[in-house]
Structures are given as C-alpha cells and as structure tokens.
A = this chain, B = another copy of it.
Amino acid sequence: MKKYSFKNDYSEGCHPNILEALIKTNLNQQSGYGDDDYSNEARELIKNKINDPNADIHFVSGGTQANLLVISSILRPHESVISAETGHIFTNETGAIEATGHKIHGIVTDDGKLRPEHIQSVLDSHTNRPHQLKQKLVYVSNSTEIGTIYQKQEIKELYEFCKSNDLYLFLDGARLGQSLTSEINDLTLEDVATLTDVFYLGGTKNGALLGEAIVITNDKLKEDFGFHIKQKGALLAKGRLLGIQFLELMKNDLYFDLAKHSNVQAMKIKSAFQDKVFQFLSETFTNQIFPILNNYQIEKLSQNFDFYVWKKIDSESSAIRLITSWATSDEIVEDFINEIKAL
C-alpha cells in the first residue's frame, strides 16, 4: 500500500466542483486566449472581492510563470528586484528572473519576511550610479516559503516605504489563501489589493489543476501586459480552463474554505507535536509545519507517511516539513496524530 504524502499541497488533482464545471461547459464554443465567458465572469468575482472595478486580471499556469511575467514586465534593463533569500524567485526557480535580465538582491531574514530596514540597506549600498543597479521592485510572498505570514501593519509599512522610495511592491500569493485564513491573520483580500501594486492568487496549491490569477491594481503596470503573457509562452489557447477553475474557486468563497481546511489540518498536527513538547524550526500558522524530530522518530513516521527532511539540526535530529492541503482528510490526520502520540 502506498504511503500518504505530506510532501506538498499539489499531490492530488482538483476540487470536484471544478471537474463538474469542466464537464458541464465542455462543448460550449468559446473565444480563445482568455477572452471566454468563464474567465470574464471569474474576473468580475475577483474585482468584486477586492472592490476595485478597474483592476486588470490575468490567469496563468503557475507561480514561476507569474513571477517572471510580472517582474520582467515591470523592470527596465538596469533595474533590479529585492527579495528575501528564502524567496521562491531567489532560490527555487532556476534563475527564471535573471534569465529575463534582472538581478535579485537577496536578503537574509529570520522569518522569511521583508521589512523596510532590509530594503533601506540595499538602497544604501547602491548609491554609486551608474555603476550599480537601480532598485525598482520589492517582492514578498504571503504566506512565505517557510510558512510565516504578514500582519496588516507590516504590509502597510512595506507599501508606504515603497511609495516613498519609488519602488513597486509585488506580492506572490501562491499560498495567499492559506495566509488569509490563518488563525493569526488580520489582512483581507481587499487589503492585499490596496497595499500592493500587483499580486496573485494561487490556485495550483489550493484546489485547482493549475492556475494563478495575477491582479494588477496600479495603473502604470497595466499597459500591454497581455503582450508579455504571449511572449513568455504563458497564453493558453483554451484560457477557459483557467477561467472555469477560478470561477468555481471564487464562487461562494470555496477558495477560502479550501485554504482554511488545509490550515486547520496542519494546526491539528502541530498541536499533537506540541502536546509531546516537540520544538519547531519556525512558528507557523498556515498549512506548513516544521517540527524537529530525532532520527529514530523520523524513521518511524516515514514507515507510513512521506514528507521531506527539511534541515539537519545536528547529527541526531532534523526538522521535517509537513504540508497539508484542501484534500487532506480528517481520517488521515487522525491516523498521523496517532503515530505522533506513539512516538
């Protein structure tokens, strides 16, 4: 029998509502390239939720694609982007951003979160113009790659700092659902739209087969974005596939229900580890947790479950990464908690 995998949140297909919608709409003829009825309807739902009828919304296949599209569409050749060193663009996208010609200034942080002082330090060390790059964009992720989230006040300070320093703020929302439904969150989707220049809502890690919804709220960044999508090979002929999914996810807040479910399942597992007084690599309140186990315990849990050994702590112990998803059932969580209790 196959082990259950906590390796990531994209191991299954998609939420059943999406499959149903695909079936129901399958033979309706539609315009190609994102100008279909479903995509347009999905755009309206998102605009309503962020209360911005003028936002531009583009659906693309995945996070790396969204990141390289947004960043390369904004920056001129001599401009650069600032990110945490843990940022997905800095370390896990095979140089996708640099391949479009732009440097990423990587910043060491404690918790994966950028703060104004981090950005200021980059600006301060890049004053020797024209021998050094001009910083123009700040990239953050929410939730971050290590499971932490931004509070409203933190995003607000970042955004205001950016506006004072002629920088754009871009928020990677590959796991935006999880961050906005975290028990410690105080941001709304509308806040995210108001306090950034561009962001995206991740579908791939929250119940879709594929798809991220890029939302551009700053007028200066809207022009000609469609050209970039096509040029980078990101324009699907059957854009309906993306539109139908976001339509289903946005209807009745399914998107947030699925994200919350994944958080809740992770928090249950977290509690079980806490009850046994395990330590964690970082304190998280979303669908990723990083408990530290000794080698024997890791081996034991590995017998029935799959997960990544994330970071070696010492010769005796390591942090593991456990990720839950919209599809993680109560039954599986219960089984796993029983194994934790038995450690």
Q: Contact residues of A with B, CB < 8 Å?
A: 2, 4-5, 8, 10-14, 16, 19, 22-23, 25-32, 61-69, 72-73, 76-78, 80, 91-96, 98-104, 106, 125, 128-134, 204-205, 209-210, 224, 226-238, 240-241, 327
Contacts and interface: CB of A to CB of B under 8 A. Distances in A.
Contact of A237 (B69, B100, B210, B241): B210
A78 B94 contact: yes
Q: Considering the complex of A and B, which 4 residue pairs feature the smallest CB-CB distances, nearest first?
A: A65-B233, A78-B227, A13-B26, A130-B226
B130 A235 contact: yes
Given A61-B61, A233-B96, A236-B62, A27 B12 contact: yes
A128 B215 CA distance: 24
Contacts of A80: 95, 98
A32 B19 contact: no
24 contacts: A12-B30, A13-B241, A27-B327, A62-B237, A64-B230, A66-B233, A73-B77, A78-B94, A91-B125, A91-B132, A93-B230, A94-B227, A96-B230, A99-B101, A99-B232, A103-B104, A129-B226, A130-B224, A130-B227, A130-B229, A130-B235, A209-B238, A232-B232, A232-B233
Contact of A13 (B25, B133, B230, B235): B25
A234 to B, nearest CB: 7
Contacts of A91: 125, 132
A229 B205 CA distance: 19
Contact of A98 (B5, B101, B228): B101
A69 B29 contact: no
B102 A98 contact: yes
Contact of A204 (B131, B204, B229, B238): B238
A237 to B, nearest CB: 4
A93 B130 CA distance: 8
A77 B68 contact: no
Contact of A233 (B69, B73, B125): B69
Contacts of A73: 77
Contacts of A23: 19
Contacts of A237: 8, 10, 62-63, 204-205, 210
Nearest to A69: B233
A77 B231 contact: yes
Nearest to A68: B233
A143 to B, nearest CB: 16
Contacts of A205: 237
B94 A231 contact: yes
Given A14-B26, A63-B237, A66-B233, 15 more contacts: A5-B29, A11-B30, A62-B235, A64-B230, A67-B233, A76-B76, A77-B228, A80-B98, A94-B132, A94-B230, A99-B101, A101-B101, A130-B227, A210-B236, A232-B232
A166 to B, nearest CB: 12
A240 B210 CA distance: 10
A4, A19, A72, A133: residue with the most chain B Cβ atoms closer than 10 Å: A133
A238 to B, nearest CB: 5
B238 A13 contact: yes
